[in-house]
Structure 1
Amino acid sequence: MAAPEQPHRSVEGLTIPALLRENARRHPDRPALTTGIGPDDGTLTWFQLRSEVAALTRGLAAVGLRRGERMLIAMSRRAEHWVADLAAVHLGALPCSTHDTLSAERIRHVVRHSAPTVLVLEGEEQTRSWGPVLDDLPDLRAVVVLDWNAATEGDKRFVSYQAVRGSGPLDTATFEALTDEITTDQPLSVVYTVGTTGEPERVVLTHRNVIHESFTQARLLALPKHPRTVAHLSPAHIAERMLGVYLPVCAAGHVTICRDPAKLPATLLHVRPHAFFGVPGVWEKLAAALRARLGEESGEARELALETYRLRSATGSVPANLSERLTRLDEQDLRPLRAAIGLDHCRGASSGAAPVPTAVLETLASVGLPVHEGWDLGETTGAATAGTQGGSRGT
């Protein structure tokens, strides 16, 4: 495995709050976070996102969240999830997004291990799942609930998200001081695995970890300025945290949240992301959509793209004449095919968690969309090694 190269920008002195501030100042009107597509979508600019974070930071401090403490977040993919996470970070606390599929036993394990002082829940489904463990948490000070109708009546620990948010933003000097207090090697978040083969494993990520990973990925994939990404997995998934939370902050990108898996194809067509991570099942569906559109015909460009892919997979290199021919044919013949699934701008298509069937990989490669299968863990802040256009590279 090749040794990682240094990212194009030094990580020293950088933190997620400092980069969020930089984005709000340098790109106040650029979109940062969009929920949904079409006329009913909602978008926060970088200035608006930081303002929301400032407002919730004050509220979380008011309900008792302190530096070094843990805060669990049990919410679906929605803007408030992102805001809550980043607000806790500004206080020097460790937010942890939890998987939606955790069993009662796994939930109990996570809460006992993390000993959170604040729990953020979305609605009835979350209060039903997490309610039985609340009395196991002697240090729990507050349960922040987005849907107040789901709050447990009579439990004084419950407080509405709107009330916490409505306490108003921190004064500028205090919020800037909090931003400046965070250091590069300070813990940023705790990630728990699903725990399908045993107890959930836990990993502490630092600002250095995620910023280095983000800068390196952006360079290896040759991402443009302000890259577009789509968040469609649980924010507890390390790949989603990197592409959906940290990379956008580090690159002043624009992430669109896809809340409904059934709307992912339409979301890709609308967003046309520059980088996209999908589990094998997602790539199988996209390949099936391509096959339905293309039928049995291949054509010169597709045959050449597949030949190039197979050569690169087998030998790590491709003759210059083949690469040049493919480059000439790609824009005219292959890019429109990638556009049919919304990935014509994609610089980095990747997968993990399980192998992608070879037939699926070859269907996608035949339209100029090689999917790079990565080996990744929370312990490696996502990718550790993955196939690239030029062979395997460590990140």
Structure 2
Amino acid sequence: MSEPSTLPQAFQRQVELQPDAVALRSHDGAISLTWREYNGEVRRIAGGLANLGLERGDVFATLLTNRPEFNLTEMAANHLGATTFSIYNTCSPEQIKYLLTHSGARIVVTEEQYVDKIKASGVQIDHLLVVDDGDVDRLAPEPDFDFEAAWQSVSPDDVLCIIYTSGTTGDPKGVEHTHAGVLGMSKAFGAAYPTDDTDSAISYLPSAHAADRCCCYYFGTISGAQITTVSDLKQLPEALVDVQPTVFAAVPRVWEKIKIGVELQLGANEQAKAGFDAGVPEVVDAIRAKLGLRRLKWAISGAAPCPQGVYTFLQNLGVPVSDGWGMSEVGFATGATPEEARHGTVGRPLPGYEWKLLDDGELLIRAPFLMRGYRNDRAKTADAIDAENWFHTGDVVTVDDDGYFRVVDRKKELIISAGGKNISPINVENAISTSSPLIGTVVAIGDARPYNVALITLDPEAAPVFAAQLGLEADPALLASDPKVRALVQQGVDAGNEQLARVEQVKKFELLPVFWPLGGDELTPTGKLMRKPINAKYAAEIESMYAENGSM
């Protein structure tokens, strides 16, 4: 059997190889499909979408939680040669309007809970299909629909998907990837993170995020792994125990939440805490099994550096985790097997990727499977990819003698102190945020300033636990002003500062009386800090920390 060159070919290969194996299931047990059944649904839905006028090259969008209907409808659209993309659930009507207009989407599949937002956007689309109303269930092909001809006509150079960047400034850019590009990325990724038809994975990150779309939907399809969908992030701990995944991808914040959860439970069990701290195998194994992480052959942390405290915790827990680095535009470009991982680095370039550094340390990447370009934006594409096909990442990195990459920070986000020192805000923020489970988001500030300060929010999950222990109400406004809470946060800041060079240390902080939601004024849907809006919104709080009578 020849190697597939398109996603439909990869899918049909798995249908042929393992028709009776479970391919796709929901965590709640409502849906469980073998590859044969999965293919039957894809055939039916593809025919129904063709009846609605969806053709090769058209754009198909979803606004869904993680549920099998995402995989089913996207795969059906992919078999017609359509280009697909997802919208973050947290998007406002104005953001939805931009995405649907910019992409030229003709059909949108969504849930009842998002219908009002889509309608409020005012965008005119050909068809809005609501899963809860049975719109997808009613899709059916015409008798003369030729499913085989449809998917076999899809070309490797066709645009498979658009991934809209959750940019921290300006409108998001639409990253276009071809079928051939995604299959090339999958092969490169598998060199450090091998996946096959014996593996099981959990789809819980937003499908608009490159990590879930690639690692679960695309790479899972290509490798034949079983995918379980989790529609609510709060159900992830339960799903981990249910699925006992063999492969798992997460952003650092998810690993942090696992760490916080274990520490809070150990805090109430002195015997278990003593056993864990001492590395007693029976205790460590029991905790890992209770978390649902006992079968992992690899786990990857991406999107941001995994903080030292979190990485050390995972190592002590026996979780085979390693940091990888990538971008929507290039896929996962660097990584390392758990055995070869070195903390503080993001591994080495994966097969097929070339690299070089500019004089200022900016990383340039080249590969035959980079993005095709930014949708409808030749100027930005030309700015990002030069005449020699090098993609300018905007990330400043260092490379050691063994070829391991260490990400310093985004080129445009480096803090340059009043004394001319270059400081990575992410390094400062990670040191502080992981020094106390009570601390949530940290924003380091100090560009052209005499010292660094920080805006800090409490962790929305840990705060109620601490509030109960202190006999306080779990209201962030009340907690932020309570002396006992502020003292605990100060302890975390002090502990974080001990890990930092003197010039990096946070001299003052403002504890904000709010929690920051994903997709709000301060955080993108993927949890990235929107630094310019934050600086503008909290200008008064920042200036108060640099006031004359409070100078250091």
Query: TM-score, normalised to structure 2's length?
Result: 0.57
Question: Closer, same or farther in 2 for the Cα pair 1:343/1:15, shift >3 Å?
Answer: same
User: How far has the Cα of 1:54 moved from its partner?
Assistant: 0.6
What does 1:240-389 align with in structure 2 at a 5 Å threshold?
240-291=212-263, 292-293=265-266, 294-298=272-276, 335-381=285-331, 383-388=332-337, 389=339
Q: Which amino acid aligns with 1:50?
A: N
Aligned to 1:144: 129
Match of 2:137 in 1: 162
1:31 counterpart = 2:22: yes
Given that residues 284 and 317 in structure 2 are in contact (C-alpha distance below 8 angstroms), is that contact kept between their aligned partners in structure 1? Answer: yes
By how many angstroms is 1:295 displaced? Answer: 0.8
Q: Partners in 2 of 1:343 and 1:196 — Cα distance?
A: 33
Q: Distance in 2 between matches of 1:346 and 1:209?
A: 28
* 1:87 shift after superposition: 0.9
Q: Of 167, 178, 199, which aligns to 2:171?
A: 199
Residue of structure 1 in register with 2:111 after alignment: 122
Number of residues paired by the alignment?
Answer: 338
Contact 2:322 2:336 in 1 (8 A): yes
Match of 1:394 among 328, 338, 349: 349
> Secondary structure of 1:116's match?
coil
Letter of the 2:349 partner, please give it.
Answer: G
2:72 counterpart of 1:83: yes
TM-score, scaled relative to structure 1: 0.78
Matched, 1:64 2:39: no
Counterparts of 1:220 and 1:45 in 2: how far apart (Å)?
28
How far the C-alpha of 1:337 sits from its partner, in A, is: 4.1
Query: Aligned partners of 2:41 and 2:65: how far apart in 1?
Result: 18
Higher relative contact order (CA 8 A, sep 6+): 1
**Contact 1:106-1:195 within 8 A present in 2 as well:** no
Paired-residue identity, %:
29
Q: CA deviation at 1:182?
A: 1.4
- Give the whole-Å Cα distance in 1 for the aligned partners of 2:261 and 2:274: 13
Please report the RMSD computed on the Cα atoms of aligned residues, expressed in angstroms: 2.5
Equivalent position to 1:17, from 5, 8, 11: 8
What are the superposed Cα offsets for residues 46-102 of structure 1, whole Å, 9 maximum, x if unpaired? 111111011011111111111111111112111111111111111111111111111
Residues 322-363 of structure 1: per-residue CA shift (max 9 Å, x gap): xxxxxxxx8x77555432311122122122233333212111
Q: CA offsets, 1:190-209, max 9 Å, x none?
A: 11122342211211111122
Given that residues 34 and 257 in structure 1 are in contact (C-alpha distance below 8 angstroms), is that contact kept between their aligned partners in structure 2?
yes
Give the 3-state SS of the residue equivalent to 2:96 in structure 1.
helix
Partner of 2:384: none
AA paired with 1:394? P
Provide structure 2 residue ranges, at least 5 long, that are not aligned to the other structure.
Answer: 267-271, 342-346, 351-552
Residue 309 of structure 1 corresponds to: none
Q: Which has the larger radius of gyration?
A: 2
Moved more, 210-219 or 82-91: 210-219
Say whether the 8 Å CA contact 1:192–1:201 is kept in structure 2.
yes
Deviation at 1:103, TM superposition (A): 2.1
SS at match of 2:129: strand
- Cα distance, 1:298 vs structure 2: 4.5
Matches of 1:171 and 1:47, distance apart in 2: 21
Contact 2:196–2:225 (8 Å) recurs in 1: no
Is residue 222–residue 347 contact of structure 1 (8 Å, CA) maintained in 2?
no
Q: Give the deviation of 1:113 after TM superposition.
A: 0.8
Matches within 5 A, 1:175-186: 175-186=147-158
In structure 2, relative to structure 1, the CA distance for the partners of 1:105 and 1:297 (3 Å cut) is same
Given that 1:223 and 1:347 are in contact with CA atoms closer than 8 Å, whether structure 2 keeps it comes out as no
Aligned counterpart, 1:234: 206
Distance 1:335 1:372, change over 3 A: same
- Which of the numbers 80, 104, 121 marks the counterpart of 1:133? 121
Letter in 2 for 1:14: S
Equivalent position of 1:111 in the other structure? 100
Query: Does structure 1 retain, via aligned residues, the 8 Å contact 2:259–2:313?
Result: yes
Distance 1:273 1:201, change over 3 A: same
Q: Secondary structure at the match of 1:384?
A: strand
Q: What displacement does 1:220 show?
A: 1.8
Amino acid corresponding to residue 144 of structure 1 in structure 2: L
Aligned partners of 2:170, 2:321: CA distance in 1, in Å?
30
Moved more, 273-282 or 368-377: 368-377
Per the alignment, do residues 299 and 171 of structure 1 end up closer, same or farther by CA in structure 2, a change over 3 Å counting? farther
Deviation, structure 1 residue 168: 4.2
Cα offset, 1:369, TM superposition: 1.7
Matched with 2:471 is none
What are the Cα deviations for residues 162-194 of structure 1, in whole angstroms up to 9, with x where unaligned? 33x2x248768x211122111222211111122
**In structure 2, distance between residues paired with 1:130 and 1:374:** 35
Closer/same/farther in 2, CA of residues 198 and 170 from structure 1, 3 Å limit: farther
